[in-house]
Structure 1
């Protein structure tokens, strides 16, 4: 049985937004980086995932969605997860988040 707060991310994979740090686009695929250190490759593009997650994910770059509740260190042009994974923040879309320096 699927919980109410889980979202279909691809094939038979369902995730809660609370489990995700960020999502990175890779052409028609997406890499989902989880808080437990795992990375999942799904055949769902970033735009579809953004629509499915709604306000639970924020678009900060053409190739990245971040979870605003995740513990990410956010700089002006990039973010770093607790596990050391990095992602980019664009000037235009970076205005969607608060900079913590």
Structure 2
């Protein structure tokens, strides 16, 4: 894997290259609010609308597609179904025979049949991550 820290970045401040992801801005009750991607447990898409579930137990309805929202997220987020994107950090249990992920907060998310093997492999390896 290549790292690009040795290259010069003219006219761009160094703090803009941090590992943190910019918060997602949404409209809620007529006011713009920002949601940190780290606080999102999963997102559920329904057509041109998306429900965002947070670790605080809140549910937000956004008039954006699941695909457009998932483009702004980190690699911790996994597309497990046509209608679901989950944050791997909040997966508590995987029920393989039922194709269900139990999320933090008690919610359950379906895994598509075609992605079951891939998701199982990703989640099994996610427990071996080393963080500095």
Indicate whether the TM-score tops 0.5: yes
**What is the alpha-carbon distance in structure 1 between the residues aligned to residue 102 and residue 94 of structure 2?**
7
Q: Number of paired residues?
A: 97
TM-score (norm 1): 0.80
Judging changes above 3 Å, is the alpha-carbon distance between structure 1 residues 72 and 9 closer, same or farther for their aligned structure 2 residues? Answer: farther
Higher helix share: 2
CA deviation after TM superposition for structure 1 residue 54, in Å: 4.2
When structure 1 is superposed on structure 2, of 90-99 and 27-36 the one drifting more is 90-99
**What is the alpha-carbon distance in structure 1 between the residues aligned to residue 60 and residue 23 of structure 2?**
14
1:20 aligns with 2:40: yes
1:91 aligns with 2:116: no
Structure 1 unmatched runs, 5+:
none
Match of 2:87 in 1: 67
**What is the alpha-carbon distance in structure 2 between the residues aligned to residue 80 and residue 87 of structure 1?**
7
Contact 1:78 1:88 (8 Å CA) reproduced: yes
Judging changes above 3 Å, is the alpha-carbon distance between structure 1 residues 9 and 62 closer, same or farther for their aligned structure 2 residues? Answer: farther
TM-score (norm 2): 0.63
Q: Which has the higher contact order (CA 8 A, sep 6+)?
A: 1
Judging changes above 3 Å, is the alpha-carbon distance between structure 1 residues 70 and 82 closer, same or farther for their aligned structure 2 residues? Answer: closer
**What is the alpha-carbon distance in structure 2 between the residues aligned to residue 31 and residue 45 of structure 1?**
10
